Structures are given as C-alpha cells and as structure tokens.
Amino acid sequence: MISPVGELSAEVIGAVAGEIKQVFGFSTETSPILQDLSFALDDNRNQYHSTAILDRLAANIPPHAVRVLAIAQVDLFIPILTHVYGEAQLGGAACIVSTFRLNEGRSGINISPKYIDRIVKEAIHELGHTFNLRHCPEHTCIMLIMLQDEIKRLS
C-alpha cells in the first residue's frame, strides 16, 4: 500500500507503483494513512523523526495490506544523522521515503524524470529492507547503489 502524506503527484505514485509491481510482483493501492505528522516534529531541528512515523504507520496498517510505503514531502531525520532519505523497519511492515531532498529545490509541479527516478529507487530500496534485504556488496545491487548515493550526498 502506498500512503502519500500530503499532496503527491499521480505521476510519482504511478511510477512507484509500476516499479513495485515489476520488482516485488505486488499490486498496490493508494491510501493516505497519516495526514498529520506533527507528533514526529522535532522543534529544535525543524525536521520529522522518521522512526516515530514508522511506529505510527505500522500501528495503523489495514489488515489486508502486506506492506505500507509512506511517501512524505517533509525533511526526515534519525537522531544520529543530519537527515535521511527514508527509513524502513528491517523485516517489518512499514517504510517511508521523503521527496524533500530528492527534488533539488524544484517545486513539486516541475517534475523531472530524474526526480521521479530517485523517488522510485529510494522507495524500492526501503521496501527491500522490509523484506529483510540489507545493503549488499553486489555492485549492481540497488541497495548498494542507493547507499553509495547516500554517502556521496552526505559527504
């Protein structure tokens, strides 16, 4: 289940849904589970704690959904990092990605294929973690490609 938080373009949802079908073989439905993320807002950082969001998501998954992927547009963090592009419960049911830092300051209206591609990759990456995939040493593996991207962006 794809769970947009706030407004998300149909183009992005469609691209993510298509790739999920391709990679995992699952059909997806789109349903907003969380609308208000204020419970996860850290006032000092002005960012949202992704682990808190995952806990809330996992507690509210509809029974028929195998996994829930939230797509948020706010800036996410975990306490040990300045920000994260997404987070997943390893082997769990919930994961989240944020479009916030993938858009390079462009508005949501001006959607480039590159931007959509990044969101799709990040979504597959986080979903992979919910299926117990870890970052692997195979250089063509999407888990590693995304990790390298993460490191590049962080450094």
Backbone angles phi, psi at 135, to 5 degrees: -70, 120
By CB atoms closer than 10 A (0-12, 13-18, 19+), residue 91 is exposed
CB of 53 within 8 A of CB of 40?
Answer: yes
CA neighbor of 9 nearest in space, from 86, 149, 110: 110
CB of 59 within 8 A of CB of 34?
Answer: no
Clarify whether 138 is annotated catalytic.
no
Selected catalytic residue, list 19, 87, 122, 126 = 126
CA 63 to chain centre: 21
Q: H or E segment at 117? A: helix 113-130
Q: Known catalytic residues?
A: 126
